[in-house]
Amino acid sequence: MEEENTKAHRITQIEYEMCQPDFWSNPEKAQALIQELQDLKTEKEGGSPYDKCRAIISIYAGAGGDDAEDFASILFRMYQKLFERKGWGWHILHTHENDHGGYRNLSFEVDAKGTFGILKHEYGVHRLVRISPFNSNAKRHTSFVLVEVLPVIEKKQLEIPETDLDISFAKSSGPGGQNVNKRETAVRVVHTPTGIAVHVEGERTQNANREKAFALIEAKLVRRMEEERKETLAELSTDAGKIEWGSQIRSYVLHPYQMIKDHRTGVETAKIDDVLERGELDMFLEAPIPNDISQ
């Protein structure tokens, strides 16, 4: 409540300044205040100042071994179909593929503005229940995958000292033109104070991969700061929740019955092929999240 009152006060303050005759005497300051006002109003209405940004999605296989890595590839294909339906371009930033087409982890960027606001609630643990194709006894198996959704921050939000970054280079293993496997174009960056690490190899040059890695580190740090702020507020509220490994946001049950259910909204469907094979996720993406913890 105190945070909302602070935002409301700041909105009133900026709107008062905009009414002053000398408001445009400093155009840069005026533009900055207008942007701040828009961001504050977006947040007050339940949105995020990053909702208009492009999105970076990372998928990490968790508990479940080969099944979890296969589940990561299933979700990746599901999102690809969604992007095709929406007319959104995308490109790979990094992949760590196993020897049978699954992924231990991968990251890709969605090349359309506003996609973070649409996709941000995909962030969390996804659970798959099915007869395992990797089990000779055809037993039912449960596996987990973490989907991480971050905004592509266009304007620099943080000043990160380069002394806080451990930067290393390696030969690329994916697309990137003639230089692949000849020059060290892949970039790994570790933010040493927090241990946050990223690996980017999808761009054609080392410099482009380096810039993308820096942007990804910044996005992860911004999210971490937001989570720390929410945890501080959560101490004052018994209703607050947080995403933890193993506490799934959505289940994809293929056996003994067929159902995909979002545990936050209650939205469910038995049309699993529509979701997994055709990327028809709108019912999940458009459903309001109760007590939205991402704001």
Per residue in 138-161, pLDDT (tens digit) is 889 999 999 999 888 776 667 788
Q: Tokens 């909105």 appear where?
A: 11
pLDDT of residue 236: 36
- Does the pLDDT value for residue 112 go beyond 90? yes
Domain assignment present for 259: yes
Q: Does 293 fall in a domain?
A: no
For residue 246, give the CATH number of its domain: 3.30.70.1660
Same domain, 94 and 203: no
Rounded distance between C-alpha atoms, residue 247 and residue 11, angstroms: 37
pLDDT higher than threshold 50 for residue 23: yes
Asked, for residue 185, whether it belongs to a domain, the answer is yes
- Strand bridging mode 196-200 / 124-131: unpaired
Q: What would the mean pLDDT of 180-208 be, rounded to a whole number?
A: 84
pLDDT at 292 over 70: no
Instruction: State both tokens at 114.
Output: 């506003």
In a domain, 108, yes or no: yes
Which range (17-31, 99-113, 235-249) has the least confidence? Answer: 235-249
Residue 290 lies in a domain: no
Question: Span 262-273, mean pLDDT?
Answer: 95
On whether both 143 and 183 belong to a single domain, the answer is: no
CA distance from start to end of the chain: 14
233: which residues sit within 8 A by CB, 6+ positions away?
Answer: 3, 240
- Residue 238's pLDDT band, with cuts at 50, 70 and 90, is very low
CB of 200 within 8 A of CB of 211? no
How confident is the model at residue 245, as a pLDDT? 52
Parent domain of 6: 2-44
Of 25-34, 43-52, 186-195, the poorest mean pLDDT is in: 43-52
Coil, strand or helix at 25: helix
Tokens 């296969």: give the residue.
Answer: 70
Residue 135 lies in a domain: yes
pLDDT at 177 over 60: no
Contact 180, 174 (CB under 8 A): yes
Calculate the average pLDDT of the chain: 82
Residue with tokens 């209703």: 239
Domain count, the chain: 3
How crowded is the C-beta side of 221, counted as CA atoms within 13 Å? 24
CA R_g for the chain: 21
Please say if the pLDDT value at position 192 is more than 80: yes
Predicted local distance difference test score (pLDDT) of residue 47: 63
pLDDT beyond 60 at 181: no
**174 and 134, same domain (yes or no):** no
The pLDDT of residue 43: 64
Q: Is the pTM of this model over 0.95?
A: no
| Residue with the larger pLDDT of the pair 131 and 65 | 131
| Alpha-carbon gap, residue 127 to 64, rounded angstroms | 10
8 Å CB contact between 251 and 190: no
| Strand-strand pairing, 186-191 and 165-170 | antiparallel
Is 59's pLDDT higher than 90? yes
- Asked if pLDDT for residue 228 goes beyond 80, the answer is no
Q: Which residue has the tokens 């806080």?
A: 164
